[in-house]
């Protein structure tokens, strides 16, 4: 096969431009130089948190851990569980050295740690930056130390976090397309929710709609309950209930669009009447979201966002939900994280999901939208109105 034929086979709805790939690599190497790092050892797995490797190669990792050796100078090496592809495919991702031994993390005798550690040893680095240090396996780290006893190994996860956080014009375009895909999924949910339908039928329609619209990966949450029971979002294994008149539904559609960039939306949909308690709780969650978006501009700390939440909720009998918001991109969760201990401040061209949730007495409410931080403030990316919907 010629390279052009492989290009047709591998073609996605969006391929990152060579110019933006080169920009990313220059940014990362600049950060490596600042930290004195000779080699980044980058681990990624799956669609949801596999963005580290894709950011530098445009290659999407699968369900097994893949490892990219990214040097301060020279060619990259990729080690994954699939056999090395033909040379034209390697060149498609700009990876000449592609090693694919049969790996499975559940089988100790196929452990990739030995292979990666020896590949690192070949390069003789003085300082190794491990991206994904907090989740690296003990076996992996031990082999890395054994094969490279003179090298200094440091946590360099923040190098990729810093590089990936601020989006280019090309990335922002893809993020806006992703937000449009998610809106299409929500429109499908409004059409699908009817008395007599199963929850899984509703979400099958949603997934079908976003796939047709260009989504690459989907994390979907849904629940339906009678109005007197808190409607906490659930995952697919419990989507067994039949929707009834008067139900309250909670939905989350968190998808990557063409190019792999994530956005998400969260709303309530009522089958019939909106309970007064839900309306009050939702309005409070919406107020928090809008106020955080209002103050979210370059230089604002995540602690200030948390303080704003506490200021609004003080005295309201609210139990806060887990997490107010976070960045998104090729990873479903990126820096900065809206927690008091987050040291990174807001900057322009950062894609943030803001999703405050509240519990007042027995009523649960939440709202989620993505915002793009700009010099003049945060701009909401979704077209779906910020309201409770009735079907």
For 3-164, CATH gives 3.40.350.10
Non-local CB neighbours of 322 within 8 Å, separated by 6+ positions = 357
Cα separations in angstroms, 340 against 303, 337, 343: 4, 9, 8
What confidence score (pLDDT) does residue 13 get? 67
The candidate with the shortest Cα–Cα distance to 231, out of 203, 270, 263, 183, is 270
Strand partners, 378: 373
What ranges do the domains of the chain cover? 3-164, 169-390
Q: Which helix (H) or strand (E) holds 67?
A: strand 66-71
3-state secondary structure of 34: helix
Report how far residue 153's alpha carbon sits from residue 128's, in angstroms, rounded to the nearest whole number.
5
Tell me what pLDDT residue 315 has.
62
CA distances, 159 to each of 33, 40, 74 (Å): 11, 9, 18
pLDDT attached to residue 1: 45
| DSSP for 158-223, written as a single string | HHHHHHHHSPPHHHHHHHHHHHHHHHHHHHHHHHH--TT-BHHHHHHHHHHHHHHHT-SEEEEEEE
Query: H/E element holding 127?
Result: strand 127-131
pLDDT in tens, the chain (391 residues): 455 555 565 566 678 999 999 999 999 999 999 999 999 999 987 788 889 999 999 998 877 788 999 999 999 999 987 778 787 778 888 898 988 776 666 666 656 788 899 899 999 999 999 998 888 888 888 889 999 999 999 999 999 999 999 999 999 999 999 999 999 999 999 999 999 999 999 999 999 999 999 999 999 999 999 999 999 999 999 999 999 999 999 999 999 999 999 999 999 999 999 999 999 999 999 999 999 999 999 999 999 999 888 888 776 656 555 579 999 999 999 999 999 999 999 999 999 999 998 888 889 999 999 999 999 999 999 999 999 999 9
What is residue 260's predicted lDDT score, i.e. its pLDDT? 95
SS3 of 135-148: the string is: HCCHHHHHHHHHHC
Contact 249, 223 (CB under 8 A): yes
Q: Are 132 and 157 in contact (CB under 8 A)?
A: yes
Q: CA-to-CA distance for 189 and 270, rounded, in angstroms?
A: 12
Please choose, from the candidates 29, 24, 115, the residue with its C-alpha nearest in 3D space to the C-alpha of residue 78.
115
DSSP character at residue 260: S
Given a contact cutoff of 8 angstroms between Cβ atoms, the answer to whether 129 and 159 are in contact is yes
pLDDT value at position 65? 83
Phi-psi region of 58 (alpha: psi -120 to 50; beta: other; left: phi over 0): left
Residue 304 to residues 162, 299, 324, 338, Cα–Cα distance (Å): 20, 10, 12, 9
Fold annotation for 169-390: Creatine Amidinohydrolase (3.90.230)
- Tokens 């929707």 belong to 243
């Amino acid at each position: 096969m010629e390279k052009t034929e492989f290009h047709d086979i591998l073609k996605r709805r969006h391929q990152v431009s060579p110019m933006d790939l080169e920009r990313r690599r220059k940014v990362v190497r600049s950060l490596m130089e600042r930290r004195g790092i000779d080699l980044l050892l980058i681990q990624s797995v799956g669609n949801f948190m596999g963005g580290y490797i894709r950011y530098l190669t445009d290659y999407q990792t699968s369900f097994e851990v893949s490892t990219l050796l990214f040097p301060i100078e020279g060619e990259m090496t990729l080690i994954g569980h699939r056999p090395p592809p033909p040379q034209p495919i390697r060149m498609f991702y700009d990876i000449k050295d592609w090693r694919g031994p049969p790996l499975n993390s559940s089988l100790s005798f196929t452990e990739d740690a030995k292979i990666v550690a020896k590949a690192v040893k070949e390069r003789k680095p003085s300082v190794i930056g491990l991206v994904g240090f907090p989740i690296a396996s003990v076996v992996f780290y031990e082999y890395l130390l054994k094969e490279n006893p003179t090298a200094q190994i440091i946590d360099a996860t923040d190098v990729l976090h810093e590089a990936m956080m601020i989006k280019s014009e090309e990335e922002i375009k893809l993020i806006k397309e992703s937000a449009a895909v998610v809106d299409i999924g929500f429109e499908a949910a409004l059409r699908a929710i009817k008395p007599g339908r199963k929850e899984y039928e509703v979400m099958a329609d949603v997934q079908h709609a976003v796939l047709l619209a260009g989504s690459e990966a989907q994390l979907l949450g849904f629940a339906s309950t009678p109005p007197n029971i808190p409607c906490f979002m659930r995952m697919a294994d419990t989507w067994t209930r039949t929707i009834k008149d008067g139900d309250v539904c909670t939905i989350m559609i968190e998808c990557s669009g063409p190019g792999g960039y994530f956005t998400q939306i969260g709303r309530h949909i009522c089958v019939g009447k909106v309970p007064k308690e839900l309306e009050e709780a939702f309005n409070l969650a919406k107020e928090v979201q809008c106020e955080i978006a209002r103050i979210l501009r370059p230089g604002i700390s995540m602690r200030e966002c948390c303080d704003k939440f506490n200021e609004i909720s003080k005295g309201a009998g609210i139990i806060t939900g887990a997490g107010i918001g976070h960045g998104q991109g090729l990873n479903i969760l990126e820096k900065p994280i809206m927690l008091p201990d987050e040291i990174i401040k807001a900057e322009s061209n950062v894609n943030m999901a803001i999703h405050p949730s509240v519990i007042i007495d027995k009523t649960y409410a939440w709202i989620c939208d993505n915002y793009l931080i700009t010099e003049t403030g945060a701009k909401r990316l979704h077209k779906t109105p910020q309201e409770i919907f009735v079907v």
